[in-house]
């Protein structure tokens, strides 16, 4: 069987020298390939024509982590801790989420990606998690990206529970924003012990839709549950093709 092409979104920034740059952590590329997919980078700097062309080629989509979503997208003023906002990236990813849901394109959203899915479906975000739940759990951990620093509880009987193979996971964590008001139709399916939502699904969606707040791409070498998330996306993409 031909390997499915998986679109992988990138971060974007303008450097202090005025250079526009697109980039993504290599862990996403390796995770998609290890799961059996072929990653294709989607950047905010591609033309609309190029993105339309790529959209006919990809069979699945990964929304990656990165900077914060502009809070104007959910009707709030910017918090002092809100950072690394890219209007171009927001536009690219919000449109891709809507398109994926409308067409049934399999979608795996990671960290910022979960937040993008929520905002695309008219939800809102806590702009700085410690303001809401304190810092008993280090949602923005120090140390290695592969360190698993807190646990999440998964609702039994959900897609995530099936893919992960259990109802409790120990995960890594690199975020300071989180879901506040749920987007239309989304169902929370995992929580940290401080009640921060750690994963959502979209019941009744035309295709595979799963979003997690942690970074499984950094764990695929050591955690079978992390690899299974990417394998589930690739399997859904293969069937989509």
Query: Does the active-site annotation cover 217?
Result: yes
Largest CA distance in the chain: 51
What is d(CA 71, CA 174) in angstroms, rounded to the nearest whole number?
19
What is d(CA 117, CA 178) in angstroms, rounded to the nearest whole number?
12
When divided into structural domains, the chain yields a total of: 1
Tokens coding 27: 């862990």
Query: Does the active-site annotation cover 46?
Result: no
pTM over 0.85: yes
Pairwise pLDDT comparison (134 vs 232), residue with the higher score: 232
Tell me the CA end-to-end span of the chain in Å, nearest whole number: 10
What is d(CA 84, CA 194) in angstroms, rounded to the nearest whole number?
26
Q: In this predicted structure, what is the pLDDT of residue 102? A: 96
- pLDDT-derived band of residue 2, with 50, 70 and 90 as boundaries? confident
Count CB atoms within 10 A of the CB of residue 76: 14
- pLDDT-derived band of residue 241, with 50, 70 and 90 as boundaries? low
Question: Which member of 13, 111, 126, 218 is catalytic?
Answer: 111
Query: Does the active-site annotation cover 111?
Result: yes
Q: What is the pLDDT of residues 131-150, one digit of tens each?
A: 999 888 888 888 888 888 89
Query: Residue 104 is part of a domain; what is its CATH number?
Result: 3.40.50.880
Q: In this predicted structure, what is the pLDDT of residue 136? A: 83
Q: What is the pLDDT of residues 29-49, one digit of tens each?
A: 999 999 999 999 999 999 999
Q: Please give the residue range of the domain that contains residue 231.
A: 5-240
């Amino acid at each position: 069987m031909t390997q499915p092409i998986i679109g992988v979104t990138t971060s974007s920034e303008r450097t202090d020298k005025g250079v526009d740059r697109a980039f993504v952590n290599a862990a996403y590329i390796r995770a998609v390939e290890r799961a059996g997919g072929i990653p294709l980078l989607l950047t905010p700097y591609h033309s609309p024509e190029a993105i339309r062309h790529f959209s006919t080629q990809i069979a699945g989509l990964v929304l990656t982590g990165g900077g914060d979503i502009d809070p104007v997208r959910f009707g709030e003023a910017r918090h002092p801790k809100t950072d690394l906002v890219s209007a171009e990236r927001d536009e690219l990813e919000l449109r891709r989420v809507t398109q994926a849901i409308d067409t049934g394109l399999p979608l795996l959203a990671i960290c910022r990606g979960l937040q993008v899915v929520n905002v695309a479906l008219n939800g809102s975000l806590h702009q700085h998690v410690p303001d809401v739940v304190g810092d008993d759990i280090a949602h923005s951990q120090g140390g290695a990206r592969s360190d698993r620093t807190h646990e999440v509880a998964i609702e039994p009987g959900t897609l995530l529970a099936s893919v992960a193979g259990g109802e409790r996971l120990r995960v890594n964590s690199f975020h300071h924003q989180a879901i506040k008001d749920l987007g239309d139709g989304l169902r929370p399916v995992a929580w940290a012990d401080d009640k921060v939502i750690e994963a959502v699904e979209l019941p009744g969606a035309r295709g595979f839709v799963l979003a997690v707040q942690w970074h499984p791409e950094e764990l695929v070498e050591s955690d079978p549950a992390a690899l299974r998330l990417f394998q589930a996306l690739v399997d859904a993409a293969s069937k989509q093709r």
